[in-house]
Amino acid sequence: MITLQSSDKDVFEIEQSILIQSGTIKNMVEDDFTFIPLPSVDTETLIKIIEYMKKHADKTDSKEKNIKEFDKDFMKKTLNELFALVFAANYLHISSLLELLYPSIADRIKDKITEAIRQIFSIRCDFTPEEERRIIMDNKWAHEGTEIEGTLD
């Protein structure tokens, strides 16, 4: 059993076989650590990470459909929760979770106008009006959309 401690000082005892899905934890376990503090991961996010790893620990064929359904529901979270998961999964090196998170966040960006993206993600525009004009000039491909570089003739 391995003990994980969140940034909120809550401790969780989990089986090693489940936790080695995290590259970071696997390395520390190989170096004989049994108590692993995770100062970058808060309790709420750590609970979700552990839930994910428990579900994915047993990847037999019969449970594959079950796992896919779980993953689909697992991604139904707020943006803040998804970002917290991305940071945690990146720190813990859980590549399968990251591969799930990338398209989930990308879906929140798709088909939105620039201003909507700024509002949803709380981004401040740091372009000056001259810079905006230059961007449009330098990247006509993004705005005209009809340029064709070559033909098959």
Partner 1 sequence: MARGKKICENVGFRLVRSTSFGRKRVCLPDIADLDFISTTPTKKLCRQNSFSTCVKSHLEALPQDILIRIVCGVDHDDLKRLFHVSKTIREATLVAKRWHFEYSTPRKTLGFMNATFPLNWSESNDVEVPNAPRQSKFPRTGLSQKKLADISVALFTSDDEENWPRRELFMQMDTKI
Using the rule CB under 8 A, which residue among 1, 76, 110, 130 binds partner 1? 110
Q: Identify any residues that bridge with 37 across adjacent strands, giving them in sequence order.
A: 5
Inter-residue contact 97 to 52 (CB < 8 Å) = yes
CA proximity to 19, closest of 55, 53, 62, 63: 53
Inter-residue contact 11 to 3 (CB < 8 Å) = yes
Please state, in angstroms and rounded to a whole number, the distance separating the CA atoms of residues 17 and 29: 10
Is residue 148 close enough to count as binding partner 1 by CB under 8 A? yes
Site for partner 1 in 41-100 (CB under 8 A): 42, 79-80, 83-84, 86-87, 90, 98
Using the rule CB under 8 A, which residue among 111, 129, 130, 137 binds partner 1? 111
Residues that bind partner 1 in the complex, under the rule CB under 8 A: 7, 24, 27-28, 30-37, 39-40, 42, 79-80, 83-84, 86-87, 90, 98, 102-103, 105-107, 109-114, 117-118, 121-127, 132, 135, 139, 141-153
